Structure 1
Amino acid sequence: MEAKEYIIKTLQTLVNIPSPSGFTKKAIEFVKGEAERFAYACEINQKGGLIITIEGRSNETVGLTAHVDTLGAMVRSINSDGTLQFTMVGGYTMHSVEGSYCKIHTRDGRVYTGTILIKSCSVHYHDDARTMERTEKNMIVRIDEIVNSKEDVLALGINSGDYISFDAEFEYTEKGFIKSRHLDDKASVAVLLGVLKEMSENKLVPGKRTKILISNYEEVGFGASWIPEDISELVAVDMGVIGDDLNGSEYKVSICAKDSSGPYDYELTGKLISLAKENNIDYVVDIFPHYGSDVSAVLGGGNNIRGALIGQGVHASHGMERTHIKGIENTFKLVKAYLDLR
């Protein structure tokens, strides 16, 4: 199987594994299984994240990071009519999840399906169906079970603190577009696994020892706040922002010079730009106005590293997301160039 086909197949699998921040064990286990299948050493850190180690031609250690956690929700309370109030996990607009199918995951392992709705959900009845403010307090989850009371819901084993995941709705079109929730950042995780597959099958070795951190709390701000002490520089492989005055594109890899956490390392960012030019990779340099990455968390945690950020452009991020296979391929190429594989 070619790398492109593997990345798409892996991405489809990944986006359909529920993994809101903090509820990522199954997704981490999947990534770990793939990395071990390619014969790379893996370990789980105390936060439940994954560290994959690849020996290099030198002993200096660099890092790559991508996050497997996604947006989601958690049961806040149970209403008297058997619907659920929820609290957000990660940052998104209610408009982007209204009408979405979801799953409720109980602490004892049961899974129920449901739909996210505004309380005034019918234009045939509610006078304010179009105007009710889309906020947490006005949103509910309608459970696909025969429930008419709080007690009915409790009898299902559902309670406050249970996770709610959003269905991905993955589609790969004939024109090469990938439409799905959770492309942020499972697209990048699939890219990194594609790189590991190519390295393993072709016996390629990076220029420096490389540790890949698959983090599991990025969407809530502290995914990679701790990293192994031997890492001297870290490149986050995440998503590129698309907006009217920005340069990002679904067909290109974005190299971020600055986001809301501040500028990324000048020399390392410049190196990535040079690598893109030298290898004829379709790229842009950009500013992300409302954004923070795992590298932001690492630097905020006081780690003594150089940091940079790259990723395929994603349209409608934190909503009904879309990217293109060309953006995936350009990100794949830049990661390989950075690793200096031989």
Structure 2
Amino acid sequence: MKIDLDYIIKTFEDLVKIPSPSGYTEEAMAYVKNEFENLGVKFFTTNKGAVYGVIDGEDNDQSILLTSHVDTLGAMVLDIKDNGRLKLASVGGFAWGSIEGENALVHTDSGKVYSGSLLPEKASVHIFAEASEERKEENMEIRLDNDVRSAKETRGLGIEVGDFVSFDPRFMLTENGYVKSRHIDDKICVAIQLGLCKALIEAKEKPKYQTYFYIANYEEIGHGLYHIPENCTEVIAVDIGTVGGTNTSSEKAVTIFAKDSSTPYDYGIKKTMVELCKTKDIPYRVDIARRYGSDASAALRQGKDVRTACIGPGVDSTHHYERTHKDGILASANLVMAYLLRK
């Protein structure tokens, strides 16, 4: 079955340009629901705002759940300083130095959005001998692109503590197939899930089992998957592989995780997926993630009686300015499709 890679890349580009730090995902979820509707996929929304797409299988007594997440790293306004600049609290796990100099948007409760930049308090080497000091929450701030010089003036814009802050993804697709952007984790895999739905619907194919296409909205902060249908026996996280260091993952292959920081994944599913890659000539790597968890392992920590796996395209510089490749994206989509259609 042919996967529409151009559709996946375009869907990712659309999604990654929609700000959606954990807790502020309504617009991104509306996009996902609209895509499910356009594709003709049944869907429903959980009380906490996650979205399930559902495609019937040859066997509906048993189901498989694929999970990806639309929420990203971001921040919230922690304090409005006397000089009118903003101190932040992080949303999700990132190093402050990884977003230094990035353009940012402040999303107010009134709906007004203000632009700014994330900088260290002592940014200029022409002024501060300490300009090279460690970047941490205490010494980073948002410089607003407005004429504000006091906390009163900033509050006059309607900005308050608790407002969400998102960072410019800086999406780029290179001529040789590299995809560069913040928040590849995990919007590329949301796009892959939608691409799988598109392929199944257009080919009028049914997966082996009823399949839930779950799009989470709180994964980056640890509670993305919190509702699993009673007939579900497997949870497969379609998430990113981690490229770098001694890890085996590659940007041009699908990563099949054997283990993450909390648990081994199901041995039988891993073996089946490896065999499918070999049989269908899908480039793959088996890897172990040392500082990583997925919604599949979160399901196990909740005591769910499900078998689990975690697979996805290899991504370089995760939780920084990330990069992957079309080959790894397609390999991931092909592996999941092969698993869903296996006899």
Q: Given the two structures, how large is their TM-score scaled by the length of structure 1?
A: 0.98
Distance apart, 1:169 and its partner CA? 0.2
1:229-267 Cα deviation digits (max 9, x unpaired): 221101000000112211100000000000101111111
SS in 2 for 1:263: coil
Whether contact under 8 Å (2:253, 2:285) holds in the other structure is yes
Question: More displaced, 88-97 or 269-278?
Answer: 269-278
The residue number in structure 2 matching 1:62 is 64
Equivalents in 2 of 1:99, 1:210: separation in Å?
Answer: 42
Q: Which of 98, 101, 109 is equivalent to 2:111?
A: 109
Deviation at 1:32, TM superposition (A): 1.1
Tell me the residue number matched to 2:73.
Answer: 71
Map of 1:41 onto structure 2: 42
Match of 1:164 in 2: 165
The one-letter amino acid of 2:226's match is S
Task: Tell me if the contact between 2:3 and 2:196 (Cα under 8 Å) persists in the aligned partners.
Answer: no
Cross-structure match for 2:82: 80
* Alignment partners' CA distance in 2, 1:31 and 1:333: 21
Partner of 2:223: 222
Q: Is the 8 A contact 1:255 1:309 kept in 2?
A: yes
Aligned to 2:298: 297
1:210-246 Cα offsets, whole Å, 9 max, x none, are 0111001110011013322221101000000112211
* Cα distance in 2 between the residues matched to 1:230 and 1:150: 54
Corresponding residue number in structure 2 for 1:325:
326
Residue in structure 1 matched with residue 238 of structure 2 by the alignment:
237
CA distance in structure 2 between the partners assigned to 1:203 and 1:166 by the alignment: 39
Q: Which runs of 5+ in 1 are unaligned?
A: none
Shift of 1:300: 1.1
The Cα shift of 1:340 comes to 0.3
Distance 2:192 2:163 in 1: 31
- State percent identity of aligned pairs: 45
Q: By how many angstroms is 1:2 displaced?
A: 7.1
Does the 8 Å contact 1:92/1:318 carry over to 2? yes
CA distance in 1, matches of 2:117, 2:7: 32
d(CA) in 1 for partners of 2:252 and 2:78?
A: 39
Measured in 2, the distance between the counterparts of 1:266 and 1:153 equals 55
SS at match of 1:31: helix
Aligned equivalents of 1:244, 1:127: Cα separation in 2: 33
User: What displacement does 1:276 show?
Assistant: 1.3
The 3-state SS of whatever aligns with 2:239 is strand
Which residue identity is paired with 1:11?
F
Q: Which residue of 2 aligns with 1:143?
A: 144
CA 1:54/1:2 → structure 2, altered by over 3 Å: closer, same or farther? closer
Residue matched to 1:89:
91
Q: Secondary structure at the match of 2:212?
A: strand
Aligned to 1:10: 11
Cα offset for 1:341?
7.1
Q: Which amino acid aligns with 1:19?
A: S
User: How many correspondences in the alignment?
Assistant: 341
Pair 1:249-2:243 in alignment: no
Distance 2:163 2:189 in 1: 27
Question: Hey, what does 2:187 align to over in structure 1?
Answer: 186
Aligned-residue RMSD, C-alpha: 1.3
Q: CA deviation at 1:297?
A: 1.3
**Counterpart for residue 273 of structure 1:** 274
Task: Return the TM-score normalized by structure 2.
Answer: 0.97
The corresponding residue for 1:198 is 199
Q: CA deviation at 1:274?
A: 1.5
Alpha carbons 1:225, 1:299 under 8 Å: kept: no
Helix, strand or coil at the partner of 2:72? coil
- Checking the alignment, whether the CA contact within 8 Å between 1:225 and 1:300 is kept in structure 2 is no
Cα distance in 2, alignment partners of residues 10 and 24 from structure 1 = 16
* Separation of aligned partners in 1, 2:297 and 2:152: 44
CA distance in 2, matches of 1:97, 1:194: 30
Counterpart residue type for residue 85 of structure 1: K
Partner amino acid, structure 2, of 1:261: S
State the alpha-carbon separation in 2 of the partners of residues 128 and 291 from structure 1: 33
Whole-angstrom CA distance in 2 between matches of 1:28 and 1:269:
30
Query: By how many angstroms is 1:67 displaced?
Result: 0.4
Unaligned runs of 5+ in 2: none
* Contact kept in structure 1, 2:122 and 2:130, CA below 8 Å: yes
CA distance in 1, matches of 2:267, 2:342: 23
Residue identity matched to 2:92: G
